[in-house]
DNA sequence: CCTACATAGTTCAACTTTCAAGGATGAGTC
DNA sequence: GACTCATCCTTGAAAGTTGAACTATGTAGG
């Protein structure tokens, strides 16, 4: 399982390259299953939504966030943060959604730098029409196939992983992750 | 939890729009954690590899597959299938990796339509140099944070989900998923 | 051989994402 | 006010992805 360390060989205090701890066979299998399942699911949902709603999964997620926000509106940065995407990406995305008439921008009165993105009625309608199909897809891929215990386990596992990634790494355009 | 069905209300045999079974609060929380964790991790690995290896995660995965293949080579379609990407995407990816000198194409003697993608020595070297960092990132994000039981649970869960998605959906350019 | 159809891979155009740079406003300090 | 620095968001170009169309080769049946 663990790779034998080489650090003791010469009492090296600088440790230029500690022998990496490779993944065990079991871990490799889990890792592959993880990659496998997550990419298949993301692809599946992307295609499902592209077909039924005319937008990729991420964009759909943005509409959902807006729909649940107080006055159907959110500041750009907050929306980016809760959707886990860069502000740059959000700018492009909102521009596209705006072209579709599903989102509008509105200036922020208290902060002239700020912008609100807000869900239009048309946007809400798209959501209303396509949500059932999307939920069905999610159910079919995940909740209908897992036992209640597994769902709970998955929740706990994903929370732990997310925790570890949230405050990590300094990103150029993800200042809230510093 | 379950939404009350409306199907019995009028003995409707056509069932034009059965009330969708929305996600329960618990399910919603799990679903969000899932999206949250998986996107953060994928982004994290993408940046880690882009920085250290000069390529996105998917491309790195292609090199790994090739490295493990019999003579460091694979038919394009097989490679696409095992990496869960379309052949189109693979064509572009291999073109890029070829420019980097990490992969070469070779004709298939038995089938003139076919192409092999094969890992060059340079490609193997890149892999050798960057694998430790990548494994460390994966460990840090996943295996170092989960208990052995959770790792096992995650494996089981991901296998179930992948199963459900594998043979599903007819894809235009994913003929093996029919 | 010929036709019809399937498979292997590529290519093009449209779209999405990333990265680095930039313009504008806010906040703190002197 | 002037300076400095942080924050808000956008932009443009390069890179990556998608879906459909396309070329070429294989395969099966008459």
Check residue B14 and give its pLDDT.
67
Residues in chain B: 178
- Whether A37 and chain B come into contact, CB under 8 Å, resolves to yes
**For A25-67, how does the pLDDT look when each residue is reduced to its tens digit (9 = 90+)?**
999 999 999 999 999 999 999 999 999 999 999 999 999 999 9
A82 touches strand D (CB under 7 A): no
CB spacing of B160 vs A145 below 8 angstroms: yes
* Average pLDDT of the residues of chain B: 88
DSSP A7: G
Are the beta carbons of A154 and B151 separated by less than 8 Å?
no
Residue whose CA lies closest to nucleotide C26 C1': A111
How many angstroms separate the CA of residue A16 from the nearest CA in chain B?
13
pLDDT of residue A16: 67
Q: Which of A44-53's residues contact partners 24+ apart within 8 Å by CB, and which partners?
A: A44/A137, A44/A141, A44/B165, A44/B168, A44/B169, A45/A134, A45/A137, A45/A138, A45/A141, A47/B169, A47/B171, A48/A133, A48/A134, A48/A137, A49/A130, A49/A134, A52/A130, A52/A133, A52/A134, A53/A126, A53/A129, A53/A130, A53/A134
Q: Which residue is nearest to nucleotide D26 (CA to C1')?
A: B111
Instruction: Tell me: pLDDT of B15 over 50.
Output: yes
Straight-line distance from the first to the last Cα atom of chain B, in angstroms, rounded to the nearest whole number: 34
pLDDT at A173: 56
CB pairs under 8 A between A and B: 162
Contact A8, A109 (CB under 8 A): no
Confidence of residue A139 (pLDDT cuts 50, 70, 90): very high
Through-space separation of residue B167 CA and nucleotide D24 C1' in angstroms: 29
Per-residue pLDDT at B174:
54
What percent of chain A is modeled with pLDDT above 70? 83
Nearest-CA distance A94 → chain B (Å): 19
pLDDT in tens, B37-82: 999 999 999 999 999 999 999 999 999 999 999 999 999 999 999 9
- What mean pLDDT is reported for chain A? 88
If you measure CA to CA, which chain B residue comes closest to A166? B40
CB B90, CB B83: distance < 8 Å = yes
Task: Give the closest-approach CA distance of A85 to chain B in angstroms.
Answer: 9
Which of A 68-127 lie inside 8 A of B, CB atoms?
84
Work out whether the CA dihedral A67, A104, A128, A56 comes out positive or negative. Answer: negative
Helix (H, G, I), strand (E, B) or coil at B6: coil
Q: Considering only CB atoms, which chain B residues are within 8 Å of A158?
A: 30, 33-34, 36-38
Q: What is the pLDDT of residues A83-127, one digit of tens each?
A: 999 999 999 999 999 999 999 999 999 999 999 999 999 999 999
Residue B50 CA to nucleotide C16 C1', Å? 18
- pLDDT at residue number A20: 76
Q: Token pair 């420019």 is at which residue?
A: B99
Residue B79 CB lies within 7 Å of the nucleic strand D = no
Say if the Cβ atoms of B155 and A26 lie within 8 Å: yes
User: Does residue A106 sit in helix, strand or coil?
Assistant: strand
Return the closest nucleotide (C1') to the Cα of B95. C10
Mean pLDDT of B90-112: 97
- Minimum-distance nucleotide, CA of A93 to C1': C16
Task: Report yes or no: B45 and B57 within 8 Å, Cβ to Cβ.
Answer: yes
Kindly determine whether the C-beta of residue A105 is less than 7 Å away from any atom of nucleic acid strand D. Answer: yes
Q: Does residue A12 register a pLDDT over 80?
A: no
**How far apart (Å, rounded) are the C-alpha atoms in residues A83 and B111?**
47
């Amino acid at each position: 399982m663990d790779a034998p360390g080489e650090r003791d060989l010469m009492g090296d205090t600088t440790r230029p390259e500690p022998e990496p701890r490779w993944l065990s066979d079991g871990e490799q299998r889990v890792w592959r299953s993880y990659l496998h399942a997550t990419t298949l699911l993301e692809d599946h949902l992307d295609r499902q939504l592209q077909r039924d709603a005319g937008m990729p999964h991420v964009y759909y997620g943005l509409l959902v966030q807006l729909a649940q926000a107080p006055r159907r509106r959110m500041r750009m940065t907050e929306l980016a943060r809760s959707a886990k995407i860069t502000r740059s990406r959000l700018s492009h995305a909102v521009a596209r959604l705006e072209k579709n008439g599903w989102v509008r921008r509105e200036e922020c009165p208290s902060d002239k730098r700020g912008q609100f993105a807000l869900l239009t009625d048309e946007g809400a309608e798209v959501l209303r029409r396509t949500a059932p199909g999307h939920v069905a897809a999610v159910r079919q891929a995940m909740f209908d196939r897992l036992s209640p215990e597994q769902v709970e386990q998955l929740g706990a596992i994903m929370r732990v992983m997310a925790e570890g990634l949230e405050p990590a790494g300094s990103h150029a355009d993800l200042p809230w992750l510093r």
